[in-house]
Amino acid sequence: MSFDVQKIREDFPILKRSVNGYPLVYLDNAATSQKPQEVIDCIVAYYSTYNANIHRGVHTLSQEATEAYEEARKKIQKHFHIQYPEEVIFTSGTTHGINLVANGFSSLLNEGDEILVSAMEHHSNIVPWQMLCERTGAILKVIPMNEKGELVMEVFENLLTEKTQLVFVNHVSNALGTINPIEEIIQKSHKVGAAVLIDGAQSCAHIKPNLQTLDADFYVASAHKMCGPTGVGMLYGKKEWLEKLPPYQGGGEMIKEVTFEKTTYAGLPHKFEAGTPNIAGGIAFGAAIDYLHKIGFEAIANYENELLEYATSELLKIKGLKIYGTSKKKTSVISFNLEGIHPFDIGTIVDKLGIAVRTGHHCAQPIMDFYKIPGTVRASFSFYNTKEEVDRLVKAVQKAQMMLS
Amino acid sequence: MTIATLQEELIEEFSLFDDWLDKYEHIIELGKSLPLIEDTLKTDDKLIKGCQSKVWLHAEMKEGNIIFTADSDAIITKGIIAVLIRVFSNQTPEEIIQADTSFIDEIGLKEHLSPTRANGLVSMIKQMKLYAVAFQAQKTT
Ligand SMILES: Cc1ncc(COP(=O)(O)O)c(C=O)c1O
């Protein structure tokens, strides 16, 4: 297998730019990925040649746009191994998908029902459930993690009871990179009759799941994490579940018939797609999936693993550097701190050297509380990063350490 | 010294550095030399919101002037506070309220003024001015 990273880099126009006088090293891929020319062109083509509202007009443009949009839905369906296209709901992103499900469960939960979330969730996978609990009187329980940043599965099993209605975990933690054992979590949750939502925001760019064999009840992801545009994402829900949940927002597109007395809702997926969606975004989401398939998910995973191993061993050569999240199963995310130095200071110096990393709590404050730290520096690698870029990061961190200690 | 002269002085001091590395090294030095706030004053009500790093700011009146002391858990932030304190501490409330802050730009710390940077330079200045307004109100009542 030949993985020509230099050739791949040619596909991403942004990688040619410089920052603060240095060639950009973009290591904030866990926040959002960069976009290949193909995806950018796809958006331009939509607005310059067939921009029209979808599912509405009989005119040619509208039909072309509708076809392209529905074609994208099928690409998503195929990519995630989803049984029916109507089980794919276009959303504005992971956060929207989670809120849609949480809101739907308001009418299905009773006081005293229990919801489990993991200790390593993104705020977007904590707050909606807290709000749901406030509305319904359900109780939120937390699956703890250990020092390595892995879920403690024995405790999870003890927390699962017939009261458990819902279980939410991210496939991969954005702050630590841990790949959670979602197969096992889904199986065990189903044994007590609980539904499971998997947050795929951090895994979708690295791991291609088979949602049918996985048997997840819900799965959410964002296009912008997988080389697609911002403001669009997907929610998968098993048909039975999506039929049971009430609509989230009312509006055009989601209705069958409207009188002032009563409205009948449209069938799936339109019931959950009120209003004019992000049409260009949806179509470009499809283009991003096509692009990733051309590179190949296996090739991506292999190469990113190589980068992760190289970066981990190089960074650990720096005295006083500690990595948070040391699970054996990880995606290419390294969260770290230097002894006695605030992550914000490191981020500031490293940015001056043209390197984009994230600093702070990464929307996962409970994890920072667990380690009793104010935050970390997070470098997250993608298949278009190189070992030379890892070397530049290491040098920059060393420079920061020299200046700051 | 007046706020304006102190600002002039800082602009001159920072103009000696022509590259960012030296400038940041200087900020870090200033951070290290900042007289620390007493630990008993590092309470949550003294914390400034909107900073990625923690910043505690304390103000008291002495002979008509406001004395600021501050601390941060991040050294670059501390260096920036040191700059602010040099300019604004030991001045009257009126002078602080009226002070112009464009010197930040001139000493090349403009990037830290961006509210999206979340290091709270903007919040710090705002908090200092708020203290000044509060002390002024106390005086007149
Ligand atoms: C694990 C996880 N969940 C949810 C989100 C939220 O995704 P979005 O902002 O695209 O809705 C993110 C984004 O950082 C994430 O990493």
Residue with the nearest Cα to atom 7 of ligand 1?
A94
- With a CB cutoff of 8 Å and minimum separation 6, the contacts of B16 are none
Higher pLDDT, A127 or A253: A127
The amino acid at residue A176 is L
Report d(CA A348, CA B75) in Å as an integer: 11
Report d(CA A236, CA B37) in Å as an integer: 53
Nearest in space to A203 (alpha carbons), one of A27, A30, A376, A383 = A30
Which of A250, A276, A293 lies at the terminal end of a domain, its last residue?
A: A293
pLDDT of residue A262: 76
What does the pLDDT look like over A139-177, one tens digit per residue? 999 999 999 999 999 999 999 999 999 999 999 999 999
pLDDT band at A306 (very low <50, low <70, confident <90, very high): very high
**Residues A267, A386 within the same domain:** no
Q: Which CATH number fits domain B3-140: 3.90.1010.10, 1.10.150.120, 3.40.190.10, 3.40.309.10?
A: 3.90.1010.10
Q: What is the mean pLDDT of residues A103-113?
A: 93
pLDDT of residue B113: 57
pLDDT of residue A166: 96
Report d(CA A242, CA A375) in Å as an integer: 38
Report d(CA A185, CA B117) in Å as an integer: 38
The amino acid at residue B136 is Q
**Residues A20, A99 within the same domain:** no
**Residues A156, A278 within the same domain:** yes
pLDDT band at A62 (very low <50, low <70, confident <90, very high): very high
Q: What is the mean pLDDT of residues A213-236?
A: 98
Which of A269, A293, A317 lies at the terminal end of a domain, its last residue?
A: A293
**Residue A346 is assigned to a structural domain of this protein:** yes
Q: Which residues of chain B have pLDDT under 50?
A: none
**Residue A46 C-alpha from the chain's centroid:** 25
Q: How many residues does chain A have?
A: 405
**Residue A35 is assigned to a structural domain of this protein:** no
**Residues A232, A321 within the same domain:** no
Given a cut of 90, whether residue A123 has pLDDT beyond it is no
Burial A279-314, CB ≥16 within 10 A → b, else e: bbbbbbbbbbbebbeebeeeebbebbeebbeebbeb
Higher pLDDT, B18 or A217: A217
Which protein residues are within 6 Å of ligand 1, measured from CB? A 93-95, 122, 124-125, 170, 174, 199, 201-202, 222
**Residues A26, A133 within the same domain:** no
Instruction: Please give the backbone phi and psi of residue A26, each rounded to the nearest 5 degrees, phi first.
Output: -95, 105
Q: Residues 334..363 of A with a Cβ closer than 8 Å to B: which? A: 341-342, 344-345, 348-349, 352, 359-360
**Residues A283, A326 within the same domain:** no
**Residues A362, A227 within the same domain:** no
**Residues A149, A68 within the same domain:** yes
Subunit contact B24:A359, Cβ cutoff 8 A: no
Nearest in space to A358 (alpha carbons), one of A340, A339, A343 = A343
Report d(CA B141, CA B135) in Å as an integer: 10
Residue A226 DSSP symbol: G
Task: Report which ligand 1 atom has the smallest distance to the Cα of A172.
Answer: 1
pLDDT of residue B119: 53
ipTM of the complex, rounded to two decimals: 0.85
**Residues A56, A194 within the same domain:** yes
**Residues A270, A368 within the same domain:** no
Nearest in space to A70 (alpha carbons), one of A317, A286, A217 = A286
Which of A277, A293, A309 lies at the terminal end of a domain, its last residue?
A: A293
H helices of A248-342, where? 279-295, 297-316
pLDDT of residue B116: 55
- What percentage of chain B's residues is helix, strand, coil (to nearest 5)? 60, 15, 30
Q: Could you tell me where the beta strands, DSSP code E, fall in chain B?
A: 55-62, 65-72
Instruction: Please give the backbone phi and psi of residue A232, each rounded to the nearest 5 degrees, phi first.
Output: -145, 145
CA of B137 vs chain A CAs: smallest distance (Å): 36
Of B25, B54, B76, the CB nearest to A348: B76
Residues of A carrying an active site annotation: 363
**Residue A74 is assigned to a structural domain of this protein:** yes
How far, in Å, from the CA of A380 to the mean position of ligand 1? 14
How many CB atoms are closer than 10 A to CB A115? 24
Higher pLDDT, B119 or A206: A206
3 state DSSP class of A357: coil
**Residues A245, A347 within the same domain:** no
**Residue A283 is assigned to a structural domain of this protein:** yes
pLDDT of residue A254: 76
Of B20, B28, B73, the CB nearest to A352: B20
Q: Which domain holds residue A385?
A: 5-30+297-404
Residue of B nearest to A374 (CA): B53
Nearest in space to A45 (alpha carbons), one of A284, A228, A286 = A284
Q: Could you tell me where the beta strands, DSSP code E, fall in A148-240?
A: 164-170, 195-199, 218-222, 233-237
Q: Can you read off the two tokens belonging to residue A11?
A: 């596909």
Q: How many CA atoms lie within 13 A of A130 on its CB side?
A: 8
For residue A376, the cross-strand partners are A360
Task: Report which ligand 1 atom has the smallest distance to the Cα of A124.
Answer: 4
- Tell whether omega for the bond before B115 is within 30 degrees of 0, i.e. cis: no
Question: Exposed, middle or buried: residue B136 (CB in 10 Å: 0-12, 13-18, 19+)?
Answer: middle
How far, in Å, from the CA of B97 to the mean position of ligand 1? 41
- What percentage of chain A's residues is helix, strand, coil (to nearest 5)? 45, 20, 35
CATH code for the domain of A112: 3.40.640.10
CA of B71 vs chain A CAs: smallest distance (Å): 13
**Residues A335, A287 within the same domain:** no
Q: Can you read off the two tokens belonging to residue A285?
A: 């989401």
Q: Are A152 and A169 in contact (CB under 8 A)?
A: no
How far, in Å, from the CA of A59 to the mean position of ligand 1? 37
Q: What is the mean pLDDT of residues A65-83?
A: 97
Where in chain B are the domains?
3-140
CA of B73 vs chain A CAs: smallest distance (Å): 7
Element of type H or E holding A26: strand A25-26
Residue A206 DSSP symbol: T
Q: Can you read off the two tokens belonging to residue A110?
A: 């009773």
Residue A222 DSSP symbol: E
Report d(CA A189, CA A82) in Å as an integer: 21
What pairing do the DSSP bridges indicate for beta strands A321-324 and A18-19?
A: unpaired
What does the pLDDT look like over A315-360, one tens digit per residue? 999 999 999 999 999 999 999 999 999 999 999 999 999 999 999 8
